[in-house]
Amino acid sequence: MINDDQLKTLAEQLRCPDGEGGVKLGNQMNISNLSVILNGIANVHIRDHDHILELGYGNGGLLGYILSLADDIRYTGLEVSPTMHQEAIALNQPYIDAGLAQYQLYDGTSLPFAPETFDKVLTVNTIYFWQEPLLLLDNIGKVLKKGGYLCLTFCDKTFMQTLPFIEYGFQLYDAQTVKALVRDLPLKFIREDCKKDKSISKIGTLVDREFTSLVFEKIA
């Protein structure tokens, strides 16, 4: 049985993995979240010559896979966790040295890039932790090129509500709420991909996990 303090610690680690526990969680998430992450990667439609931005790359364990999906692509990742940042660099140094990828820390809202820098923006399992969702979405819209895609992948509110740690700082979303957030931005909704899998939750129980990828196109 997991007590309240342990649930709180788990929630904090999911929000911003830190130290030895964070390193362990970063490794675990690549496996336990694999079907969710792959759904996001598939929906953002990576194509030759794309410059891709990912928010919340964790330990960067899937970078090699992402770079294998098309020719001449470049990858930039932003994180808020210094532990994940160090891990991603350590795991991916040859890709970084070859100029194929770069990792940066940021404040979780302001994107340190010129307008219209990226062809694709992807983020998986981070929206629950955004401090200023509307401002971040606006900022994402600015750094996307016209015709570029944003894919937001997350586990649905109905599923997340069944987990015992979400009371510690998670903001939960369903597809309608996210689409409403984006409504006044120059991001046109183009696709919703809802999937289910059977996974082992972060507290070790078998769960039917429902997740969604929402894809938007930058239109102006």
SS3 163: coil
Provide the minimum distance between the beta carbon of 179 and ligand SAM in the complex, in angstroms, as a whole number: 20
Read off the DSSP letter of residue 149. Answer: E
For ligand SAM, give the closer residue by CB, 134 or 146: 134
Provide the minimum distance between the beta carbon of 97 and ligand SAM in the complex, in angstroms, as a whole number: 23
Q: Which residues bind ligand SAM (CB under 6 A)?
A: 14-17, 29, 33, 36-37, 55-56, 58, 78-81, 84, 108, 124-126, 129-130
For ligand SAM, give the closer residue by CB, 132 or 208: 132
List the one residue out of 211, 213, 207 whose CA is nearest residue 40: 213
Q: Which residues contact 152 (CB under 8 A, 6 or more apart)?
A: 123, 127, 178, 213, 214, 216
Alpha-helix runs per DSSP H in the chain: 4-15, 19-32, 34-43, 63-67, 82-97, 133-143, 157-160, 175-182
For ligand SAM, give the closer residue by CB, 27 or 219: 27
Provide the minimum distance between the beta carbon of 159 and ligand SAM in the complex, in angstroms, as a whole number: 14
Find the residue with minimal CB distance to ligand SAM.
56
CB atoms within 10 A of CB 96: 17
For ligand SAM, give the closer residue by CB, 27 or 179: 27
Contact indicator for 152, 120 with CB cutoff of 8 Å: no
Provide the minimum distance between the beta carbon of 34 and ligand SAM in the complex, in angstroms, as a whole number: 8
For ligand SAM, give the closer residue by CB, 15 or 145: 15
Provide the minimum distance between the beta carbon of 102 and ligand SAM in the complex, in angstroms, as a whole number: 15
